Each structure stands twice: as C-alpha cells, then as structure tokens.
Structure 1
C-alpha cells in the first residue's frame, strides 16, 4: 500500500513591503513512502547534499532535486542484482531504452512523483502534507537551516479544491527546524 503525500517547498520574501515579490512555491506529489519517517530522512539527506555541494537555489530546484534523489534511490530495484534484467548498473542509459522496460509493470521510478500546480488542488488521497521552508539567501551565502511543517495523518481537508486551503486548514503535528523534526518524529533504527 502506498503512503501518498504532497511536499510544498517555499521561500518567503524577506521584505515586509507589500510591493515585494510573493512567496516562491514549488509543490510535488510523492506516491509512496510519504510517512514522516521516510520523508524527513530524505529531506535531511537532500539538505546535506545541497549544503556540501553549495547547490541550494530555491524552491523549484529543491523540489526537482528531491525528486531526482528519491528516484535514484529506487533505481536499485530495477538494475542488475543477479536478476534477469536488461538494465545494468554500469550503463544507466539502459533505463532510457523502452525495450528494457517490457518486463516492468508501471515502474515506480517513472510514476513515483508529480510536479503539482498548487492552484489545481490535491488528489485527495494523500495521507501527509509537508511544507519545507527554505531561507531567502544568495547561493554564495553559508548554508542556513530549513524549517518544516508536518501534518498529522490525514489531518487536513480532502477534496479537489484549491490546494492552499488544505495547507491552511491542516493540523500540523510538527512545525520547526528540520533536524528537530527528525529527532521528534523519526524512530531510531533498531
């Protein structure tokens, strides 16, 4: 069973001036593993990668990078590992060959994510909502903390209406720094 979720990456404008730019928003749908234990670990991994490589560039990039890293992590299900596969780890371009996909029924790495238009509404079968707030900063600044909001399990309206209302009316089980969310909501590995 899939645990679907919506992740909204935002960057608030710094200026309190009403003429300032609106918040920048990028939103994605994640079909599987949308529970906090998985999403928060993946966000921490992404943040560490972006900090180390100095490649944080705002919400749209962070959302795209999240999907890319998450997709890479599922590729192992489809390559080598002694299985009768025509996709080989030493030739990632094999994944781009449609003939190599004949044995796969809707591969997760092609269907696991979607780029969402926040104005169109959410699917209605998500179990969690997330808001990842990136600081307004220059790419040349030192890395800064991310904050995250994590909804309660299905603790928001479920309809095909504007997404903004679902995010506004959600009951948030956590709102704070990403690393604190990890400490508070993620169980330690056994």
Structure 2
C-alpha cells in the first residue's frame, strides 16, 4: 500500500523595499509511495548531502526537481535486474528513453509516482503526511546552511480541493526543527513503534 505525501520546498525572499513583506518561493512535490517520515527524511538528508558536496543548491524549484530525479533514479534499478518480465534492455542511459524497450511493462514506477504540484490547485486528499523543507536564503557560493523541516502528524491536516496553503497552515506538526534532528527523533520513534 502506498503512503502518499506532499513536500513543499520553501525559501523566504527578502524584499528590497522594507514596506513590503517578505515573499516565499515555493515548489511543491507529490510523492505517491514511501511518504512516511523515515523514508522521506532519509531521502532529504541524502539530497542535502549531495547538494552541499556539489554546491548545487539553487532554491526551491531546483531542489524539488533534484529530489524527484533522485527518487526516480533510485527505482530504475528495479527494471535492470534481469527479470525478463520487467527488465529494460538498457546498455546505456539513453536506452531508458526508448519506448520500444518498455512495451512489455505495465506502468513502470520510475515514470510514475511523483508530481510537480501547483499549490493553488489543492491536494489529492489521500495524502498521509505533509512536509515543509525550509531552505536558507544564501548565495550558492556561501558555506552550506542547515535546512529546517516541518513534518505533519499522520493525516493531521484538512483534506479538500482548493489551495493547499490552508492545509499547510492548519496542519498539526509533529516535528519542527533541523533536518538532522528530525531524522534522529522521528526515525527513532518509528523504530520503537515497529
């Protein structure tokens, strides 16, 4: 069974004119499976480590796109394992783009499972977790800074069609703090429950 989730990558943008309030840049991603905190937080730590090491963090849109890319890349291996019923003949990465190599597959996971969401359109209504990943406002050439996250309680937010802002505003957050602390606290809690 799938554990669906919505992740918002946000960054506060300081307005040059002090009379205007700060704005937020937002990129939102729907993840169809493995949306429980242990999985999402581990993936976020891996993403942050990669972006820090390569100095490739460029704000919410790039970060969200890289999150989706890494998530999809992690599932491609399922189709390269030698099982003739689901294997893609891929001698090189470009082979993964050849539809004739996938005619025998029924909805390959690496082509599904994620969506880039328009926050104004609403959430699907069957998500179990919401996440907010707050990226620091920094120059790409500055030293990497800590990300903070908010993780909702299990289904602890309203469900409806309409702008998602209200769902994120009304969510009951089980955690707010650094990504590192979230991983330590919430993954420990999940291990105790299992």
Q: TM-score, normalised by structure 1?
A: 0.93
User: Is contact 1:86-1:94 (8 Å) kept?
Assistant: no
**Aligned partners of 1:171, 1:134: CA distance in 2, in Å?**
21
2:12 counterpart residue number: 12
5+ long unaligned stretches in structure 1 = none
Question: Are positions 1:156 and 2:175 aligned together?
Answer: no
Give me the CA root mean square deviation: 1.7
User: Which residue of structure 2 aligns with residue 36 of structure 1?
Assistant: 37
Q: 2:14 touches 2:23 (CA, 8 Å); kept in 1?
A: no
Structure 1 segment 11-160 matched on structure 2, within 5 A = 11-14=11-14, 17-19=18-20, 22-79=23-80, 81-84=81-84, 87-88=88-89, 90-160=91-161
Give the gaps of 5 or more residues in structure 2.
none
Deviates more, 1:110-119 or 1:19-28: 19-28
Q: What is the aligned residue count? A: 188
For the residue of structure 2 that corresponds to 1:131, the secondary structure is strand
- Contact 2:79–2:87, Cα closer than 8 Å, also in 1: no
User: Is 1:150–1:173's contact at 8 Å kept on the other side of the alignment?
Assistant: yes
Q: Scaled by the length of structure 2, what TM-score is found? A: 0.92
- The alpha-carbon distance between structure 1 residues 90 and 21, as it changes in their structure 2 partners (threshold 3 A), is farther
- Matches of 2:19 and 2:6, distance apart in 1: 29
Cα displacement (A) at 1:18? 3.9
